[in-house]
Structure 1
């Protein structure tokens, strides 16, 4: 097979990448904790790279001028195999074989302005445009308005940390890292609030409409979303989600759209690990789906461990099912493992391996894919999440799809693309 004829080149490139850097000072745990505290204080909450709203509270500092922030990754990959990226046909998670060296280009650029009233209320106005060529992110490759909203906190004396907003925003998009999977996603236009205090527990709630393509209005699909969080028990951080989808009169005559959909989920964080369970009815990742006669169930576990002061390992494993009269019943399970080594405060080496399987119930076929990526990194700091980062990588992988559709005679369409990609890119959130 062509893939294995190219393996010597892949190994040569990988060896060159891995030789960079030299062993340096041990990992400074105190410095890491101080940096995390600084980042959490800056955004008034948990630091992550999902571009969730920076929810203000009564203690938030009001910066001068315009705050420039965002997320982006751009680069080029040289394709020497059948496919530039590795994926599995029918997968319920598009990047379940692993994200490292397997990502599309794009970015999100955000500008925000904060204000403080004479009585102490803190306001912000946020504007974002994004640029994604990947059809899973956008309808085309153009620049689009993704956010334009205003919000305020400390407007009720009894609820100083309650943040109320209205407009267009990224909305309820929790994510797992190594597979870059938004296991809920309800971006849209509407209004809501974060951090309503209920005797020590906090409630988030919103009602949003899905944007109609690149237009300024909605398409008639709506979501009422909620999250109950702030429950900590002996090192366990627990959160619950409940969402309800519905439609307006605009879609009343559309027989392909269900009247309603719902999701319930629990998210548990403990000792650097995260476990997720989610059930969806007439939906999968979003209650906007309003897809009749389907159910989806997800179990996901991910996190990481430090092995030595310089070495660590990250992982992600998930099992998801999609069943119903309107879909091809299947189970999707995947595992991704990423050992990392930090040579010093600048250079690191990552090796990511992933395996993804789609197993159909009523079709005598199983699809699978695997990939291995070696990445030599140059970053602004010595943590695995330090950004900006430059990556020089090589990816090798293969998909074995026994079913991608049916021919007129009832036989199965198949595909067996291999991948060998050498590339360079930057990734940053700021």
Structure 2
């Protein structure tokens, strides 16, 4: 793997498309899996160090005009991303990264990486438990160092420490990070357990300024488990815990401190015309992150996402998801069902047309349902439509409706009819 391949891999890893294809042949299957999962691109001993900095990133910015007070279409109570689809329904922002690689005399390969981010967050994202100080802040998202080929018995193992994206597997059509533990700490990737599997594990702390706030998570992933020639499996387990520092009042005993855990299984199937991914995740005292703990909460998330390439010109992406939220409080208990389809047509190497349709239902245990639907037509200009490359210019129209029988407050509209027009660029590099 050379510097050019790493640049492509890091850049694509920052993107949000589930079918973003690495444009360099040097990117191998393991690295492409990291790209699909929005994970750090881990160096290996074959990496060829060259002089200079690697500048990479992901960004989308543009105009989004809506005739409704609510600019984006969603049902009240959704917790699994953009449940009616993200196309023509997503906000602005970007991530900008610089990396430098080094090689020691004994053959160890090192990298140092720093990233800044700038995202506009809207209310549904804040309700998910993510802590931000203001809309649109510029924040230090990454600053870490790592090394590979440092253990003779485990040359492919990569050790790291610092602040990083961490265990944030993402789905594309609903823009949902079904796990997320961005923080600072350290760990190891690609610890080989014979020829059957690889193990990742780390301990990370939740960021609080330049330090952490005493809220910690142990994360692990057993991956590269080949069930058949076309199906791979991964198993993930995370455990969240607190120190005395996280107890602001200083009155918790060890028995009072909250803990949380997640366990998940992922099945990836690849075939001649596309791929499928099945996700099953159970969580206790939490939902997407063991940093964000809620006593007596259990959640279950299952989804099937995939795509079919019928020809070089015609493709279809799809996603179906189930999200159950059992808070042991009748007012909060609910189940979210959603389905999204996105047929795509490439007119030539420059122009393509996408149509995305989505439907979401939030069914409350106490009675009442919130529903939403959205349809977006997007005309795109891209550097290489056949390769799903970027940059891309999108000119889109979105129509949608939300009917909210159950509302958390009166400021949320009972009925929302939205027509939006937009022009946006999206790019990774």
For the aligned pair, the TM-score class normalised by the smaller chain equals 0.7 to 0.9
Highest CA radius of gyration, 1 or 2? 1
Deviation by residue 1:42-94 (Cα, 9 ceiling, x = unmatched)? 99553636653120011112232000011110000121234211011011123
Residues in 2 aligned to 1:126 and 1:320: alpha-carbon distance in whole angstroms: 35
Are positions 1:276 and 2:279 aligned together?
yes
In the alignment, is the contact (CA less than 8 A) between 1:352 and 1:374 conserved in 2?
Answer: yes
Q: How does 1:41-190 map to 2 (within 5 A)?
A: 41=28, 44-46=31-33, 48=35, 51-135=38-122, 136=125, 138-140=132-134, 141-190=136-185
Match of 1:248 among 237, 243, 249: 243
1:202 maps to which residue? 198
1:334 maps to which residue? 338
1:7 maps to which residue? none
1:396 maps to which residue? 399
Q: Structure 2 unaligned runs (5+)? A: 1-18
2:376 maps to which residue? 373
Q: Structure 1 unaligned runs (5+)? A: 1-31
User: How many Å apart are 1:287 and its aligned residue?
Assistant: 0.7
Residues in 1 aligned to 2:85 and 2:289: alpha-carbon distance in whole angstroms: 22
Deviation by residue 1:223-263 (Cα, 9 ceiling, x = unmatched)? 000000011122101100000000000234477x8520000
Match of 2:212 among 203, 214, 218: 218
Residues in 2 aligned to 1:103 and 1:413: alpha-carbon distance in whole angstroms: 19
1:298 maps to which residue? 301
Residues in 2 aligned to 1:219 and 1:429: alpha-carbon distance in whole angstroms: 32
Range that drifts further, 381-390 or 327-336: 381-390
Residues in 1 aligned to 2:251 and 2:178: alpha-carbon distance in whole angstroms: 27
- Residues 384 and 421 (structure 1), Cα distance of their counterparts in 2 relative to 1, 3 Å cut: farther
- Residues 413 and 396 (structure 1), Cα distance of their counterparts in 2 relative to 1, 3 Å cut: closer
Deviation by residue 1:170-204 (Cα, 9 ceiling, x = unmatched)? 00000111001000000001000100001021000
Residues in 1 aligned to 2:282 and 2:30: alpha-carbon distance in whole angstroms: 31
- Residues 47 and 296 (structure 1), Cα distance of their counterparts in 2 relative to 1, 3 Å cut: closer
Residues in 2 aligned to 1:34 and 1:332: alpha-carbon distance in whole angstroms: 30
**Stretches of 4+ aligned residues off by more than 3 angstroms:** 32-37, 41-47, 252-255
In the alignment, is the contact (CA less than 8 A) between 2:21 and 2:387 conserved in 1?
Answer: no
In the alignment, is the contact (CA less than 8 A) between 1:403 and 1:414 conserved in 2?
Answer: no
2:424 maps to which residue? 425
Residue-pair matches, total: 391
2:351 maps to which residue? 347
- Residues 39 and 100 (structure 1), Cα distance of their counterparts in 2 relative to 1, 3 Å cut: farther
Are positions 1:230 and 2:218 aligned together?
no
Range that drifts further, 34-43 or 371-380: 34-43
Residues in 1 aligned to 2:342 and 2:229: alpha-carbon distance in whole angstroms: 28
In the alignment, is the contact (CA less than 8 A) between 1:339 and 1:350 conserved in 2?
Answer: yes
1:29 maps to which residue? none
1:12 maps to which residue? none
User: How many Å apart are 1:37 and its aligned residue?
Assistant: 5.5
In the alignment, is the contact (CA less than 8 A) between 2:146 and 2:159 conserved in 1?
Answer: yes
- Residues 168 and 350 (structure 1), Cα distance of their counterparts in 2 relative to 1, 3 Å cut: same
1:25 maps to which residue? none
Give the TM-score, by structure 1 length: 0.86
Residues in 1 aligned to 2:32 and 2:86: alpha-carbon distance in whole angstroms: 26
User: How many Å apart are 1:289 and its aligned residue?
Assistant: 1.3
